[in-house]
Chains A and B, each alone.
Chain A
Amino acid sequence: MANISSPVSEPHAEPSVLARALKEAFFAGLVSLGLFCLFVGVETYQNINNELVWRMRWGLLAVFVGVAAVGRFLNVAFIRPALDKRKLAKAKSGILDVSEDKGFFHRHFLKIALIALLIYPPVSVMLRGVQGSLLLVDNFGIQILIYVMLAWGLNIVVGLAGLLDLGYVAFYAVGAYSYALLSTHFGLSFWVLLPLAGIFAALWGIILGFPVLRLRGDYLAIVTLAFGEIIRLVLINWTEVTKGTFGVSGIAKASIFGIWSFDVGSPSNFAKSFGLPMSSAYYKIFLFYVILFLCMLTAYVTIRLRRMPIGRAWEALREDEIACRSLGINTVTTKLTAFATGAMFGGFAGSFFAARQGFVSPESFVFIESAVILAIVVLGGMGSLTGIAIAAVVMVGGTELLREMNFLKAIFGPDFTPELYRMLIFGLAMVVVMLFKPRGFVGSRAPSAFLHTQKNVSGSFTKEGHG
């Protein structure tokens, strides 16, 4: 590769980098061959005589080795020099990268996001047709927004008040079962039961809050975890009411304020009233706007509460509980209101979930759901609504996207099911994000009041709370 005739100064670097990259790629390939030759290359299976035999999977092994070698080559030859060059240019210019004037997109991010969400269902109908929009609106839109709402609700407890709650899904379950049971037994409508479910969940939040008031940190986390399991086990075992693991099915759909309904047999069916072809997509589009409204309500209340004395007391509680008490703040009621408010939004989301699925069972409220919601809050940046929304899109949207990635079968073979790697990728993503952004996507917090200029508080000053 070395070109002797070329001038010594500038082009000398280029071939040596490429040579080095080739060399390192070769070694990376060699190492991965050694590593994967037994792990991936050898497959054992039972033949027709029930004997255990093995065969080599040369193709798959080649893919693994190739990915490692090419990845290493690209990294050494192109990615790293480019990063170094950028860093050098930045250092040379001598200007710190904290300029105040952000780009148009950055400044109007919230407005753009809201408009994009509002036109999302019509656009997806235009792109994929009424029936085809189901996937986009339901699997992506509604699914992500439910998690956004849950994470925003949990954010009040974990992000603002600093109380680590590992059993948040319990309130989600309370909301879902409140709607499911009250609507099947008493025939109450969605719009009556939505606030009721929120109130029930808030009550459970207070019930949970009382015994754990004295606990902090790890101890609080364990008790809330246990509380989440208690609710789930009650749902499983109290079969007369909840029908146990069979779950409650045939839950009534939500209607458009009782004017149009989405039941197929109903005379005021939405599609019939407007002379449209029958499709479940209209219901999903309607639900999309309902959950969007609920999310906006959660965000609005959170933003308002942060500027109220109670919101400031929550954040002060996260920073230093003893100092709070020395300032005359009743930490008992402050913690209880945080639990209750967070639980209330969980309850809203739960009753929405029941109306969307038409079926609830204890299986939807397992610990992993709490963990995912908490992971979204932590990844997004505790306390930051925007960061949490982004984290929910990445995490939930990402896992939904995995289901659609059928082209991966072409690489890894027809047995490869991408969604099985959901948790692996979820965990990997968390590790990577926490390494590069230890305070989450949005680490800074916006102060709730200012005298001269509003300056965001860097994440290095805020505390995570002690429980």
Chain B
Amino acid sequence: MVTGTATTMSKDPILKVEHLSMRFGGLMAINDFSFEATRGEITALIGPNGAGKTTVFNCITGFYKPTMGMITMRQKGGKEFLLERLPDFEITKRAKVARTFQNIRLFSGLTVLENLLVAQHNALMRASGYTILGLFGFPAYKKASLASIELAKYWLDKASLTDRADDPAGDLPYGAQRRLEIARAMCTQPELLCLDEPAAGLNPRESLALNTLLRDIRTDTGTSILLIEHDMSVVMEISDHVVVLEYGQKISDGNPQFVQNDPKVIAAYLGVEDDEVDEVIAEVEQVAATVGHGTGSTGERP
């Protein structure tokens, strides 16, 4: 009954995940999982610990090859890429999907600016004639390298890291490292940005700053965002669309208000015995009926 929703909503999907399954030996980490992310929206993937969210991310960004299923990335120009067939670096390079990591992976020995320049590797490689022309100081590379510093400056400013540009990335405080990782991913000029728990370990003020940064990214660059998050203040505040995963299966899919009130989600998060799930559903439906909203357990996006 849940899977039916995937077909009802399709304005302009940027990412389409269909029947994704991932098996590690005897463990079915993801089981027949389908969802869509709409272009220009912030889609959140939530679920209890161990639900398989990061596995889904790793499948989308090519770090795992899924056992089954199809992941289609549709770019602005209408060009389509089957992500499960591309090697990981080509997913960023050609399909324009960038990602961050749950445990921050910065180049800690390089400066903040260098981190952002490494992210522009492919553009700079082309401009430097694959190193050879650049080695002889051709002007095209000089121009490209100036442009790359301009782009880095833009994202340094957005992530409010300009005054720390020349410090080693490993020297930054935790919150700044999170922002830098997002800025670095944006320097690859992606169409879809995948964030794995960007608010983990942030204090409330830093979380607010993160919300502003993510909204800015969406409105200023038109980049769609897919994020995994446990911090509900972030998820409910900024996301347009929430997908809930439990034990590798989708249990809910809809807008934040809908998901928040979905009894299955409540059951998954608060923990209800399996035989009580139907009871809870019945109870919630009853309450809903009396209030006058005829929302069933299937997610209809308003």
A interface residues (Cβ-Cβ under 8 A, vs B): 301, 304-305, 308-310, 312-313, 315-316, 318-320, 322-331, 337, 445, 447-455, 457-458, 461-463
Contact = CB atoms under 8 A, between A and B. Distances in A.
A319 B165 CA distance: 18
B118 A447 contact: no
A326 B99 contact: yes
A452 to B, nearest CB: 6
B89 A308 contact: no
A309 B131 contact: yes
B65 interface: no
Contacts of A312: 110, 114, 117-118, 121
Contacts of B101: 322-323, 326
30 contacts: A305-B135, A308-B128, A308-B134, A308-B135, A309-B125, A310-B125, A315-B107, A316-B107, A316-B110, A316-B118, A319-B109, A320-B106, A322-B63, A325-B63, A326-B61, A327-B184, A328-B90, A328-B188, A329-B121, A447-B111, A449-B113, A449-B114, A449-B117, A449-B149, A450-B166, A451-B162, A457-B109, A457-B111, A461-B168, A463-B109
B121 A447 contact: no
Nearest to B92: A328
B88 interface: yes
Given A319-B108, A327-B121, A305 B131 contact: yes
B105 interface: yes
A181 to B, nearest CB: 29
Contacts of A309: 117, 120-121, 124-125, 128, 131, 134
B119 interface: yes
A447 B170 CA distance: 14
Contacts of B98: 326-327
B105 A320 contact: yes
A458 B171 CA distance: 10
B231 interface: no
A313 B89 CA distance: 13
Nearest to A445: B109
A319 B89 contact: no
Ordered nearest first, which 5 A-B pairs have the shortest CB separation? A462-B109, A328-B92, A328-B93, A319-B107, A309-B124
B166 A461 contact: no
Contacts of B212: none
A423 B188 CA distance: 50
Contact of B89 (A301, A330, A449, A450): A330
Contacts of A451: 113, 149, 153, 156, 162, 165-166
Given A309-B121, A323-B106, A328-B122, A447 B166 contact: yes
A448 to B, nearest CB: 6
Given A327-B121, A461-B170, 11 more contacts: A308-B131, A309-B121, A310-B125, A316-B118, A326-B99, A327-B185, A328-B121, A328-B122, A447-B113, A447-B114, A451-B166
